[in-house]
Amino acid sequence: VVYAGIYLVGALWLLADTDPRLALPLVVWFALYLGLVVWTVPRVGAASKDFADARSAITGRIVDSYTNIASVKLFAHGRSEEEYAGEAIERARATFMGQMRLITIMDLGLTAINGFLIVAVIGYAILLWQGGQATVGTVAAAAALTLRLNAMTGWIMWSLSSLFENLGVIREGMETIAQPIALTDAPGARVLAVPRGEIVFDRVGHHYGRGTGGLREVSLTIRPGEKVGLVGRSGAGKSTLVNLILRFFDTESGAIRIDGQDVRAVTQDSLRRAIGMVTQDPSLMHRSVRANILYGRPEATEAEMLEAARRAEAHAFIPGLRDMAGRSGYDAQVGERGVKLSGGQRQRIALARVILKDAPILILDEATSALDSEVEAAIQDTLYGVMAGKTVIAIAHRLST
């Protein structure tokens, strides 16, 4: 761009030095060219962002259908899912056509004003030569300058439009992934120390910003080493209470303290390192069984990892695992979110991970819901040993659980 600017100034000076009237078409052309750039390039960027949004919508709808393929087949909605994806494809086609329309306008406009420049400068130079007011060298120089400007400005226009087009795509991606962090550590936040494991809920309220529902004025003290069960219907606030302990949300009123330390005044990493949790629908990394268990404590030894798997009744099935690449046992890959395993197998690996973590506070959210009665009975015996000396919160829908 700098080179083109210097070239333009030099061309203007040379033409004006030969005959000031030769420089006039160049000035008019530059004004038209600048107007075309200002009008076209930002619109290409906006159209590119719209097209990127539309492509993301296509991907999202197709992935959603494939992720829930069992439901699609159960309800025989294959045709409606095709139409649902087709709507997104049609929108993408329309936005792409709009983008191409702008690029066509830009191309035609650039061709028109460059044609004007060539005809005006070279034509006028020829007229001057015919009238004996210019030499053949002047005509040749004018032709060379304008033809070079024609090629150069086309390259600049396409480079700018490509830049703004890519910026539109990047902007769409950044809006998706660069979300502001809602919860951050307080300035001067300390590392949580848990010598005892006492948890105090002091008039805790949380309504997800709605003003009603959720939790209201909850006060509870869980003494060190105490085992507490939270039983209630779905939506009663059991999981909300746990999410507040883990500080996935901040309380809207009141406070939660662990061994006298407000969870909002300590670092989130130290808080979550002190809490082990097994959920009813555990999520595993798309890695090996070994890597998933060691996720609880990466520095653990192989023997400690194997012992955790045995205590979680996972060692019984892990040696028989084998993935598509031929890896077996603890080296077998479990698939995205552990999709290659059954629900019970995922839950046992998640339990082994928490056993290995050995945190002073343990939260069990329907931790044995995906297990059969025999395995559940064996794991409950293990859990009694794991819970020894820990503060435990167990969540269930039924008191029998």
- The closest of 300, 299, 303 to 311, measured between CA atoms, is 303
How confident is the model at residue 40, as a pLDDT?
A: 84
What digits encode the pLDDT tens for the residues 280-307?
778 899 999 999 999 999 999 999 999 9
Q: Average pLDDT for consecutive 10-residue bins of the chain (401 residues)?
A: 65 71 80 86 84 88 88 88 92 91 87 86 82 76 78 74 72 70 86 93 86 80 90 80 90 92 94 89 89 94 94 90 91 88 85 92 77 68 79 77 54
Within 8 A by CB and 6+ apart from 266, the residues are 189, 190, 191, 192
C-alpha to C-alpha distance for 258 and 272, rounded to whole angstroms:
12
Domain with CATH 3.40.50.300 in the chain: 199-396
Cα torsion angle, 78, 81, 83, 88, sign: negative
Per residue in 246-282, pLDDT (tens digit) is: 999 888 899 999 999 999 999 999 999 999 988 877 8
- The structure tokens listed for 252 are 């809207």
**Other Cβ atoms closer than 10 A to 93:** 12
Supply the angle between the helices 20-67 and 136-177 in degrees, to the nearest 10: 30
Burial of 99 (0-12, 13-18, 19+ CB in 10 A): buried
Within the chain, how many helices (H) and strands (E) appear?
11, 8
Predicted TM-score of the model (pTM): 0.67
Q: What is the DSSP letter of 328?
A: B
Question: Tokens for 30?
Answer: 């530059």
pLDDT for position 97: 93
In whole angstroms, give the CA distance from residue 304 to residue 297. Answer: 10
**What confidence score (pLDDT) does residue 234 get?**
76
Residues of the chain with CATH 1.20.1560.10: 2-177
How many whole angstroms separate alpha carbon 262 and alpha carbon 204? 12
The topology (CATH level 3) of 199-396 is: Rossmann fold (3.40.50)
pLDDT score at 123: 85
**What Å distances lie between residue 21 and 14, 27, 90, 120, 130, CA to CA?**
12, 10, 52, 10, 16
CATH superfamily of 2-177: ABC transporter type 1, transmembrane domain (1.20.1560.10)
